[in-house]
A and B are shown apart, each in its own frame.
Chain A
Amino acid sequence: MNGALEKSHAMQLGDIRRAPMAATDDYVLSVENLNLFYGGAQALNDISIKIPRNRVTAFIGPSGCGKSTLLRCFNRMNDLVDICRIDGRILIDRKNIFDKDVNVALLRRRVGMVFQKPNPFPKSIYENVAYGLRIMGVNEKSTLDDAVEKALRGAALWDEVKDRLGESGMGLSGGQQQRLVIARAVALEPEVLLLDEPSSALDPIASAKIEELVYEMKEKYTIVIVTHNMQQAARISDYTAFMYMGDLIEFGDTDSIFITPKEQRTSDYITGRFG
């Protein structure tokens, strides 16, 4: 991407992005004693977890255990839920993202998110990808062109859509739409990319494409992915967290979780005895 964008990006992020400290050097996000309530019901119980930088971390667990809820804490999407109440901290470069002086818009540019169901805007493919940049005030055509191409290439979609960038993003297939929204998030060059079951709505070929993409992207981004597919978690993640009923049961590198889980419930879930 060209220099002007880089600079404006850095400038806007300046107030949260500080020089990395030794203690969090390996970690992008560090969750400390997080409790979350939807009204009176507690959805997350005292979660503490550190997300390693430039690695793929997978969240697994039975439906309703709070994976999406936790993921949505990382970029404060839960702010939109009126009844949601949170205590505890999530640190990003030693700054608590729940602090009052945090600029939520900037946080969300740093921590990008792709939702379970693809949600392209009813705009052209080009405008979908350029959306976040335009919000940042980038309007120069050549800068946008470059950024859009780079993001679409990054999401392995460029070759399929390069001749019809002006067409609606809604007109793409499900798998293409999912890659489009990944490109949309990637265009902002976030540090962390949150993927909430990105391939749940896709056929095996499309989801293989997404997996490949995740594998390539971890060079540049820290990726947190929620998945129901054990094989997928085992294939693409470096670390795996198993959640159950709002608790974080076990967290470690993927091999040890899948081969030698310490907890009985983890091994039950992985082997398909419940969930």
Chain B
Amino acid sequence: MRNWFKGGEPWIWMTAGAVALSLIAVYAVVWMTAARGLVHWWPIQVAETIFTAADGSKTRLIGEVRDREEVSILRLRESGYRIDTTDKFTTRYLIKQGNRDITGTDFKWYPAPMLGEFTYPKDMIAVERREWGHFYGHLKAVKENGRIVAEGPAAWNAMRDRLNRSNALFSEILGIEKHEIGKLNYELERLRLNQRKLELQNRLDDAAKRDFDARLAAVNAQFGALQARLDALRAQIGRDSFVAEVMDGQQVEISLAKVADAIMPNDMNVFGKIGHYLSKFVEFIVDDPREANTEGGIFPAIFGTVMMVLLMSAMVTPLGIMAAVYMREYAKQGPLIRIIRISVNNLAGVPSIVYGVFGLGFFVYFLGHNIDVLFFAESLPAPVFGSPGILWASLTLAILTLPVVIVSTEEGLSRVPRSIREGSLALGATKAETLWRTVLPMASPAMMTGLILAVARAAGEVAPLMLVGVVKLAPSLPLDGNFPFLHLERKFMHLGFHIYDVGFQSPNVEAARPLVYATALLLVVIIVVLNLFAIRLRNRLRERIRGLEGV
């Protein structure tokens, strides 16, 4: 036994065990988010059954069975149910009954003994509406302008065709509202600001005024034309509707204008389900969110996250490298530089929210406000840079990650051997030339390591961002087709904040939970992709340093 200890065997087991634990932890995180998130778009069959309430009245239930758990019968009896059994425990089901506008609640637990047998009628439709969440019911008929055009089994095909038509119209309307009207609004705002600017400079004479009025009239005319087109489209989209029978036997009529998607989950084969799954998945990645972020896609959040990380990298890399070069190569290595180095190291340990507070106080309120006063006087009192935005968020994160970049770069610089530097100097290179041609290239993989760490930290940071630019729902992306294309002052959406918002702030937490996991998974994937990209770059650099490139 003593020899076993002496031989170092236990150490091997302990260290290997640590590796195994870490691996399990990592896989558990990924597996759980993937398992919970990725099933979200798989069509679930819609069940129908009879529910006996505590007072003995019977109602019909329609919905998706989403979850089940064990409950004690005692508790059920206490809440008034009469259950004849000697068992101590029974199951209860979480049923998503949808139809929030009719039933009031989406999700509800029902004890198994009070439910009849589950059936899965083929004519059941699951409708994803643009408002009020899901709708479930027996499809009865399809109407055009209030007149029934298809009934019974034929109704489904008619409904699908008409749904395609209304969706095409809807995306046309959306396109006009988002792009063309957005452009005109932007134009109007610019005209107003230009006018105000001239006014402030006392250069708004009659000629300029007339010019503005003419341009304003032109824009308004365009507005009018667009409005007319929109009205026509809106009138058309409301043409069709469908009628379905819901839980309590009511017949409900819903306009197809309000329907985003509809399926017959009980009458779908595997390929149909796969197709539906894929289309929903793509929608999740490329679409804008709907319904307080609980439905639709998360494209703006992906875009915001990636753009913020890129902006942050563009800011932190040069700054960090320059600071490290000064500290390692030029500064006299005395007590002062040692204090600075210790401070930088400790800066990495400051809680991120503190950086958020700093960013808000310094960047937004001080810098941003002064920029507004100096350059954007015409739009005051409405702030431009004086309110949180993607520029300030990236800058805050750049400061937050600066220590990481400095420390890694310094380490890389210090690993460049003295003999190499002397070799370069002895060939008549100045210190700067030695730095540029030999030392910095040799330290570049270390700089990339710093950047990789910085990206990993920045992409996952949420707390400081809430103070300096991230919002729940941004009206427009920070990069678009309107001059000057890059709008650094705009607020943006972020995956990390999106997770928090959807999971804990939304009105329908239960419905949004799978989205939380899916979004988390996507955040992980994006960070991994960004990192892989940086790691590839680093390997490329390493290879080049080994001198393997051609002459």
Interface residues of A (CB under 8 A from B): 75, 77, 80, 105-106, 108-109, 112-113, 115, 117, 119-124, 126-127, 131-132, 134-136, 165-171, 181, 184-185, 188
- Is B428 a contact partner of A132 (Cβ separation < 8 A)? yes
- Is B428 a contact partner of A109 (Cβ separation < 8 A)? yes
Nearest 6 CB-CB pairs, A to B? A168-B547, A109-B428, A132-B427, A119-B419, A113-B426, A119-B423
Minimal Cβ-Cβ distance residue in A for B418: A80
- Is B426 a contact partner of A131 (Cβ separation < 8 A)? no
Please name all residues of chain B whose beta carbon is closer than 8 Å to the beta carbon of A136 when the two chains form the complex: 428
Min CB distance, B412 to chain A, in Å? 13
Please name all residues of chain A whose beta carbon is closer than 8 Å to the beta carbon of B549 when the two chains form the complex: 124, 166
- Is A75 a contact partner of B547 (Cβ separation < 8 A)? no
Minimal Cβ-Cβ distance residue in B for A169: B547
Please name all residues of chain A whose beta carbon is closer than 8 Å to the beta carbon of B429 when the two chains form the complex: 105, 131-132, 135
- Is A77 a contact partner of B550 (Cβ separation < 8 A)? no
B551 at the interface (CB under 8 A from A): yes
Measured CA separation A167–B438 after assembly (Å): 17
Most A Cβ at <10 Å: residue of B420, B426, B437, B545: B426
The answer to whether residues A131 and B442 also contact, given A119-B417, A166-B551 and a CB cut-off of 8 A, is no
Measured CA separation A275–B145 after assembly (Å): 112
Q: Could you give, for residues 404-428 of chain B, a 1 whenever the CB lies within 8 Å of some chain A CB and a 0 otherwise?
A: 0000000000000101101111111
Interface residues of B (CB under 8 A from A): 417, 419-420, 422-430, 433, 437-438, 441-442, 545-551
Measured CA separation A122–B420 after assembly (Å): 9
Measured CA separation A124–B544 after assembly (Å): 9
Minimal Cβ-Cβ distance residue in A for B426: A113
Please name all residues of chain A whose beta carbon is closer than 8 Å to the beta carbon of B438 when the two chains form the complex: 121
Please name all residues of chain B whose beta carbon is closer than 8 Å to the beta carbon of A184 when the two chains form the complex: 423, 427
Please name all residues of chain B whose beta carbon is closer than 8 Å to the beta carbon of A115 when the two chains form the complex: 419, 422-423, 426
Measured CA separation A188–B427 after assembly (Å): 8
18 A-B residue pairs with Cβ-Cβ distance under 8 Å, sorted by A, are A105-B430, A108-B428, A109-B428, A115-B419, A115-B422, A115-B426, A119-B423, A122-B420, A122-B546, A123-B547, A124-B550, A124-B551, A127-B551, A134-B437, A135-B428, A136-B428, A167-B548, A168-B546
- Is A80 a contact partner of B428 (Cβ separation < 8 A)? no
Measured CA separation A126–B548 after assembly (Å): 11
The answer to whether residues A170 and B424 also contact, given A119-B419, A131-B437, A135-B433 and a CB cut-off of 8 A, is no
- Is B425 a contact partner of A77 (Cβ separation < 8 A)? yes
Measured CA separation A123–B429 after assembly (Å): 16
Minimal Cβ-Cβ distance residue in A for B423: A119
- Is A124 a contact partner of B547 (Cβ separation < 8 A)? yes
Please name all residues of chain B whose beta carbon is closer than 8 Å to the beta carbon of A185 when the two chains form the complex: 426-427
- Is B425 a contact partner of A135 (Cβ separation < 8 A)? no
Please name all residues of chain A whose beta carbon is closer than 8 Å to the beta carbon of B425 when the two chains form the complex: 77, 80, 108
Most A Cβ at <10 Å: residue of B417, B423, B438: B423
Q: Which of A75, A122, A170 contacts B426 (CB 8 A)?
A: A75
Minimal Cβ-Cβ distance residue in A for B419: A119
Q: Which of A120, A135, A165 contacts B551 (CB 8 A)?
A: A165
- Is B423 a contact partner of A121 (Cβ separation < 8 A)? yes
Minimal Cβ-Cβ distance residue in B for A128: B547
Q: Which of B419, B437, B548 contacts A135 (CB 8 A)?
A: B437
Minimal Cβ-Cβ distance residue in B for A116: B419
Please name all residues of chain A whose beta carbon is closer than 8 Å to the beta carbon of B437 when the two chains form the complex: 131, 134-135
Measured CA separation A92–B185 after assembly (Å): 76
Measured CA separation A122–B550 after assembly (Å): 13
Please name all residues of chain A whose beta carbon is closer than 8 Å to the beta carbon of B547 when the two chains form the complex: 121-124, 127, 167-171
Q: Which of B419, B546, B551 contacts A126 (CB 8 A)?
A: B551
- Is B420 a contact partner of A119 (Cβ separation < 8 A)? yes
Please name all residues of chain A whose beta carbon is closer than 8 Å to the beta carbon of B433 when the two chains form the complex: 135
Measured CA separation A112–B423 after assembly (Å): 10
Measured CA separation A201–B424 after assembly (Å): 21
- Is B424 a contact partner of A131 (Cβ separation < 8 A)? yes
Known: A112-B426, A113-B426, A122-B545. 16 other contacts (CB 8 A): A80-B422, A80-B425, A105-B428, A106-B428, A109-B427, A119-B423, A121-B420, A121-B424, A121-B547, A122-B420, A122-B441, A132-B428, A132-B429, A166-B549, A170-B546, A185-B427
Please name all residues of chain B whose beta carbon is closer than 8 Å to the beta carbon of A119 when the two chains form the complex: 417, 419-420, 422-423
Min CB distance, A168 to chain B, in Å? 3
Please name all residues of chain B whose beta carbon is closer than 8 Å to the beta carbon of A134 when the two chains form the complex: 437
Measured CA separation A72–B547 after assembly (Å): 29
Measured CA separation A123–B442 after assembly (Å): 10
Minimal Cβ-Cβ distance residue in B for A135: B429
Min CB distance, A144 to chain B, in Å? 10
- Is A131 a contact partner of B422 (Cβ separation < 8 A)? no
- Is B442 a contact partner of A122 (Cβ separation < 8 A)? yes
Minimal Cβ-Cβ distance residue in A for B433: A135
Min CB distance, A126 to chain B, in Å? 5
Min CB distance, B101 to chain A, in Å? 69
- Is B419 a contact partner of A117 (Cβ separation < 8 A)? yes
Measured CA separation A181–B423 after assembly (Å): 9
Measured CA separation A171–B433 after assembly (Å): 24
Measured CA separation A165–B547 after assembly (Å): 10
Measured CA separation A105–B431 after assembly (Å): 9
Minimal Cβ-Cβ distance residue in A for B417: A119
Measured CA separation A82–B449 after assembly (Å): 31
Measured CA separation A122–B441 after assembly (Å): 9
